[in-house]
Structure 1
Amino acid sequence: MPPPGLSPSTECLIPVVSLSISGTFPKNPIAVTGQSVVFKVYSKLYRRDVAVKIVSQNAIPAAVAEKFLPRELDVTMKVRHPHIARCLAITRPAPTKIVIISDYYERGTLLDLILEQKRLKENPLAVTLFRQIIEAINYLHTRGITHRDVKLENILIDGNGDVKLIDFGFSRHVERRERSRSFCGTQPYTCPQMKKFRPYVPFCADFYACGVVLFTMVVGKWPNLAVSTMNIFPDKYPSRACRKLITALLDENESDRAGYDECVNSEWMGGHPAWMFANHAYFYEEVPTRAIDPDPWNFEMTEC
């Protein structure tokens, strides 16, 4: 009998995938959905633990498979950034199966971290993780890609405690001021325009979701966005500077909503003495505040 949630066709595929990565699959997956199953596997080929996601294309609605799946695979394979999950390979070992092999990140999601710690201390933890999140978002945006499903569950934490953005199922290439009419994403992260089924600027929607993420990080619960953003905070925390940034990110007006530059130059983030960033070779380097290149990840690959 296959493990619960694992179809016979997927079970038959496992030996093929196992051979391709020189790894032995465990008995049970670490995640199962209606469309996919994910295993943690030690791969001799990659010499480390990897996440193997097997997608059943025939379990995905035809319209979604035709419109969103090609975008997801294209973006997943192309992006390379220290704070975006690294895709190692994408294969199609069977006509209706897609296998995505990625690095495995052992500390779970940002949501798991918040549930464990109740709420994150603003400095240095929350401010550092949030800087990493917006660096990943800015990397995508400067390349004309919008994520459209930024949420705590789509942010993983690696063994060093650093952020890795995942899941490009709703991502797409857009022009800078282009408006989208695809109402995708996850409550409560969706912007007001999307909730009202109005065309929206996807880049602005990503930063609205970042505002919800930041609020939840420092407060430990979802914001009550049914009330004014001025009244969503507890009495004692977060700090005034952090409240100001969250309020700017949650601005209902897209034209006034904070983006990458406003975050980096905000009082809350600007007071940080230095930032630790990983380059493409996964070395870490200290970068003084306000000496950040507009696109700090635009440099050549170097050898580890």
Structure 2
Amino acid sequence: MSKDVEVSNKTRAIESDTTRLRYFRTNNREIKISKLNPKHGIQQEIDQALEYRKSNQLRNDHQRELLEKGYRLKNIIGSGSYAHVFRAKDLRQSFDVAIKLIELDKCSRHYRDVCLRNEIYVIRELSHENIVHFYEAFNTNVAYVMVMELVDAGTFADLLKKNGPISDDRARRLFRGVFYGVDYMHSKLIAHRDLKLENILLNKYGQPKISDFSLSVIWDGKHFVTDWCGTPPYFAPEILQGIPYNPLAYDVWSLGVCLFIMTNDTLPFMFVDYQEMLQKQLNRDWKFRTRYERFISDDLKQLIRAMLDPDNNNRIKISDLLQTRWLRTNQMMETPRLCY
């Protein structure tokens, strides 16, 4: 019998008379469902079962070709509409890696011809301890494959969801590595343009790693760029205004939003539409949450204000940011910590 979970007409919900809990049963697999919302729980388990079957099918479809390249797929760790990330074993080096499978027949032409090509070109130029390391890329019969460093202790977004806002000291430890990584990129005139909590990963030692360079650009250092890209809550004013912009300054703004969210557990700008968002940005209409403000040092507040300067010509540069008093505090005393 296949180990894949089958969701069919045999799938059913039963209620136990003794425990008054609801269960989801499929192919002798029985999962306890919350009695507070059994319908939601059952649907969630059905979705998980379907996803499990889909990931197994994907793995089986690609396993043979990847084995020939020296990789054995394990479990899926992330999935989108046309891209799927697996933990895999590098059979030549005997360590685990992350393999991103991109189904070319399902992705848009723009992504295939612009974003993917751009990401590969940029990431090959980068080698830094705070940037996810790229090993190789190749085509199979049905997908494009990227082999990268495995960074599997979650993202900044996961950390915030699990533990709530972080302390001033922990923010310094975490963001110092991110700032070093971005400074390295900017020294090569490479702008990320989609820096957000979900794109900053953590390894088991608590070391941050910047990922996903599909929107990045190599700037010529002279002519401002004009394409509108990124993730809405992290848009800088110049993006919303639709004017040519310095992509390096855009990265600093997005990092300022990340730093604000991680220490305040909310967005700096609450908005209904982009026009309202822009007006609040230009008016500096944001403030630290009262319940957390007393835990945030004056040095950190000053840094965030400098990063969220609506005038990108006055906005602090990443190289200057590294010299701020907040970031240099206790620098020699801090060591990596394990994340579990």
Which TM-score band (shorter chain)?
A: 0.7 to 0.9
Equivalent residue runs for 1:109-258 within 5 Å: 109-123=155-169, 125-224=170-269, 226=277, 227=280, 228-229=283-284, 231-235=286-290, 236-237=292-293, 238-258=296-316
Q: 1:82 aligns with which of 126, 129, 133?
A: 129
For 1:181, what is the secondary structure of its paired residue?
A: coil
CA contact (8 A) 2:71 2:88 kept: no
Q: Which stretch of structure 1 is more off in the superposition, 264-273 or 141-150? A: 264-273
Q: 1:55 aligns with which of 102, 110, 118?
A: 102
Q: Which stretch of structure 1 is more off in the superposition, 216-225 or 108-117? A: 216-225
Q: CA deviation at 1:199?
A: 1.6
The answer to whether 1:98 aligns with 2:147 is: no
Q: Which stretch of structure 1 is more off in the superposition, 15-24 or 105-114? A: 15-24
Q: CA deviation at 1:268?
A: 1.4
Q: Which stretch of structure 1 is more off in the superposition, 183-192 or 171-180? A: 171-180
CA contact (8 A) 1:18 1:25 kept: no
Q: CA deviation at 1:45?
A: 2.2
For 1:274, what is the secondary structure of its paired residue?
A: helix
Give the counterpart letter for 2:260 in structure 1.
F
1:191 and 1:89 map into 2 onto residues whose CA distance is 33
The answer to whether 1:14 aligns with 2:14 is: no
Q: Which stretch of structure 1 is more off in the superposition, 239-248 or 56-65? A: 56-65
- Which runs of 4 or more aligned residues in structure 1 lie more than 6 Å from their structure 2 counterparts after TM superposition? 7-10, 275-278
TM-score relative to the length of structure 1: 0.82
Q: Which has the larger radius of gyration?
A: 2
1:178 and 1:272 map into 2 onto residues whose CA distance is 39
Provide structure 2 residue ranges, at least 5 long, that are not aligned to the other structure: 5-50, 271-276
1:179 and 1:170 map into 2 onto residues whose CA distance is 16
Give the counterpart letter for 1:233 in structure 2.
F
For 2:206, what is the secondary structure of its paired residue?
A: coil
CA contact (8 A) 1:35 1:59 kept: yes
1:251 and 1:200 map into 2 onto residues whose CA distance is 14
Partner of 1:68: 115
Q: 1:157 to 1:171 in 2, by over 3 A?
A: same
Q: Which has the higher helix share?
A: 2
CA contact (8 A) 1:230 1:247 kept: no
* Deviation by residue 1:19-42 (Cα, 9 ceiling, x = unmatched): 42342433xx22111121111123
CA contact (8 A) 2:138 2:146 kept: yes
1:33 and 1:266 map into 2 onto residues whose CA distance is 39
The answer to whether 1:271 aligns with 2:324 is: no
2:334 and 2:180 map into 1 onto residues whose CA distance is 12
CA contact (8 A) 1:193 1:199 kept: yes
Percentage of pairs with the same residue: 23
CA contact (8 A) 2:73 2:86 kept: no
2:67 and 2:52 map into 1 onto residues whose CA distance is 17
The answer to whether 1:39 aligns with 2:86 is: yes
For 1:167, what is the secondary structure of its paired residue?
A: coil
2:305 and 2:212 map into 1 onto residues whose CA distance is 26
Q: CA deviation at 1:9?
A: 7.7
Give the counterpart letter for 1:31 in structure 2.
G
Q: 1:7 to 1:48 in 2, by over 3 A?
A: closer
Q: Which stretch of structure 1 is more off in the superposition, 201-210 or 1-10? A: 1-10
Q: 1:209 to 1:221 in 2, by over 3 A?
A: same
2:56 and 2:217 map into 1 onto residues whose CA distance is 30
Q: CA deviation at 1:16?
A: 1.1
1:275 and 1:64 map into 2 onto residues whose CA distance is 44
CA contact (8 A) 1:25 1:40 kept: yes
Q: CA deviation at 1:188?
A: 0.6
